[in-house]
Structure 1
Amino acid sequence: MVPNVNLSFEEMWEKIIACDRTYDGLFFTAVKTTKIYCRPSCKSRKPKKRNVEFYHDINEVEKAGFRACKRCQPEVEQSPHIEIVRNTITFLINNYKQNLLLKDIADQIGLSPFYLERIFKQETAETPRTYLEKIRVDKAAHLLKCTDKTNLEICYEVGFQSTSNFYKLFRRLKNCSPSQYRKELQNEIH
């Protein structure tokens, strides 16, 4: 059974829109109108948001009456290292607020830091550290969107140790500052 990940509907929706391969196996996208379920990375045409349900377990989605997509074949394991990557991603998502070093992550997964980083980078094209930074920035963007918390409060809430690092990474990943991001969201609403 795949570990449960604490992702909101919106976060999972963003992952399927981005065809994010790193979430394959962590959850499945089920389309109510076609009764088909897919991996988050499936390249098939994206369904309407209102027709989507998410499941964390393949048995659960099949029990609900959905059948596997023939294009992405979600019931078939694609890499011998996928379980290591899944466990690492699950650990990062569930512990992103902590000050994590590669050694801490590797100890939790049960591998050497070098081996974990090599496998993770091979499968995701990024290191556990850069993946963790993306999670933190995504969580910060979600908080900017859904709360009235200040940028400073959000910075520390999502696990950044310094505001300068928070602002630098947010700008690099979202192409704007946290304040600009919030302002653009408010402009879209009005």
Structure 2
Amino acid sequence: MKNVTLTALLLAIAGAALYSGAYAADTATEVQRDTHQQARIEQGLQSGSLTTQEAGRLEQDEARIDRNQANAERNGNLSAAEKARIQREQNQVSQAITRDKSNGAVGNPNSESSQRLQADVQRNINQDQRIENGVKNDTLTHREAGALERGQAKVDQREARAARNGHVGANEQRHIQNAENRQSNHIYNKKHNDVIR
């Protein structure tokens, strides 16, 4: 009887470890896709194939995806349906990036406004990579990654609001940078709080 109980316990532990590893891969994959899409937005700004206003609309879409990821990860479990919904949304944003980059509208990558937004989007890329790395190396739990995605959504939302009129002013960038600094501190604190899966 003890052998059966011990075997069942070991199988349950092994199953939980496999499930946790698969979930971590799913979470890291979704964050990696965020990073890739942010990089495409930044590249579009740098080349002039995206205007500041177009990039702002794309950041609005990115904010929605980040909020949905945060909600899906809130309970520490990313279901197949949630993953499929997030992937559909990411596919739609990917198509929007491609469409906006090839629609003939030309941005000025050397304008102060574009330079400000480029810097902010680059910071998004860095923050997303830090979250992705934290999930991969187990310094972030799934719930922590979800909370950090909610913070990323807030930053994306600020960028979207600032770029809505096609111009990001110095004062608007200062507010974005303050939000980015808070998010950076949240990432650091969550990665170093000794909470493990």
**Does TM, scored on the shorter chain, surpass 0.5?**
no
Smaller-chain TM-score range? under 0.3
- Structure number with the higher strand fraction is 1
- Structure number with the higher helix fraction is 2
Asked which structure has the greater CA Rg, the reply is 2
Normalised by the length of structure 2, the TM-score is 0.25
More relative contact order in 1 or in 2 (CA 8 Å, sep 6+)?
2
